[in-house]
Amino acid sequence: MNKKKVSLPLQIGIALVLGILVGFACGAMGDTGKSFTAAYLKPFGDIFVNLLKFIVVPVVLLSMIDGILSMGDMKKVGSVGIKTVGYFLVTTAIACIIGLVFANIFAGAGFFPDLSQELGAAEYTPKEFKGFMSVLVDIFPSNMWSSFVNANMLQVIVVSLFFGGSIMVAGERGKLCRDIVSSFYAVIEKLMEFVISLSPIGVFTYMAWVTATQGAEILGSLALVIGCAYLGYIVHAVVVYSLSAQVFAGMNPIKFFKSAFAAMMFAFTSTSSAATLPVSKECARELGAKDDIAAFVLPLGSTINMDGTAIYQCVATVFIASCANIHLTIGQMVIVVVTATLASIGTAGVSGAGMIMLAMVLETLGIPVAYIGLIVAVDRIFDMGRTCLNVTGDIACSLCVSKWEGKKVRS
């Protein structure tokens, strides 16, 4: 008899539930249980994430080059790039507005109390932001290998664009490079399949650790601000992403979320949109996105599409301002939208990167950055939701762009 294999999304869902239950059980045991999850469960999650990070650079490099070569001409690359960036900029601006609306509703209702006496302002020193032009210059690498070693995804994407375009323009003389890329990418895809098959282990161990060490204690005094951010995440996913997928790609919202579930859950637990790329690609393929377009859109989206980060920055800014007894004006809120939209483009697709961008937004508004310590302890919980939203947006964009390009070809 043939045994029916449990699907990966169901495995991940079961692992998620079991991780939460085990986490609460260990948390109820006090320091002993928490130490157990940190010492014996979390390391397996770390190993899994390390394996994903290990394949991220070759996946992005080879998938983007292969995707560019699959398109056949540079005009299509430019067309897909413009549509992708346009989609991300519009949805990020909407995300900022949603975040500010919910944050101000909660603040106006008195749901954001002054927590400085209870938690204090933990010291936080953000990385220096050198300005937009400096960020622009840094996108273009002076050493290709250092880009790979440091996993600088923006630089890796630029390298992919240059090599993909050059191989395409070289024509027949570039055939050997084209074949090498195709062969290497086939190998990387098999490696991806193996690593992805281990995802339930990573989800279970990480979820148990997070729940045991940060669950009940953290979700007390800061439950409201966390709830506000997650309300924004949910509304944005349901209204913006599923609606755009339905309107532009003809995709049923229920089918969309069901097929994207595996990537959403892995992003939720790993808090890394870059590390989720292999799973995102499988989900996009299942939903009907074209492989060449998904190979271009998803790596780019993991770097520049940070709608969840934008919502988080807006909610956290209003919350911190309320805790510091600072009332934001309409003009300052407009600055938040513009700054958060632009800042999200430069946010790396790795865990915790949103905190750096939040510090930049606070400095722009003149709000004491020291108050960021109020939410440092629960940043992981924010990060889980915002990364899940970011990855959902990447998949939705790949569907929409595939549909738009399909219409263009038929016309």
| 43-60 pLDDT per residue, tens | 888 888 788 778 778 877
137 Cβ neighbours under 8 A, 6+ residues apart: none
pLDDT at site 119: 41
Give yes or no for a contact between 326 and 301, defined as CB atoms under 8 angstroms apart: no
**Contact in structure between 242 and 129 (CB atoms under 8 Å):** no
- The H-or-E segment that residue 6 falls in is none
pLDDT at 306: 79
Record: fold of 8-410: Proton glutamate symport protein (1.10.3860)
In tens, the pLDDT along 140-155 reads: 889 989 888 877 766 8
Q: Please count the other Cβ atoms lying within 10 Å of the Cβ belonging to residue 99.
A: 32
Task: Report which of residues 111 and 126 the model is more confident about.
Answer: 111
| The CA-based dihedral angle spanning residues 372, 361, 231, 268, taken in that order and rounded to the nearest 10 degrees | -70
Report d(CA 333, CA 215) in Å as an integer. Answer: 32
Q: Considering the chain, what is the average pLDDT of its residues?
A: 79
| The model scores a pTM over 0.85 | no
Q: Looking at residue 357, what is its pLDDT? A: 66
At residue 221 the predicted structure's pLDDT band, cuts being 50, 70 and 90, is low
Res 361: pLDDT:
73
Structure tokens at 138: 């840094």
| Structure-model confidence comparison of residues 135 and 335, the more confident one | 335
According to the per-residue pLDDT averaged within each range, which of 151-165, 190-204, 280-294 is highest? 280-294
Residue 240: which pLDDT band, with cuts at 50, 70 and 90? very high
Sign of CA dihedral 354, 356, 358, 361: negative
**Most confident listed range (130-144, 198-212, 252-266):** 252-266
Distances (CA, A) of 53 to 50, 109, 192: 5, 42, 11
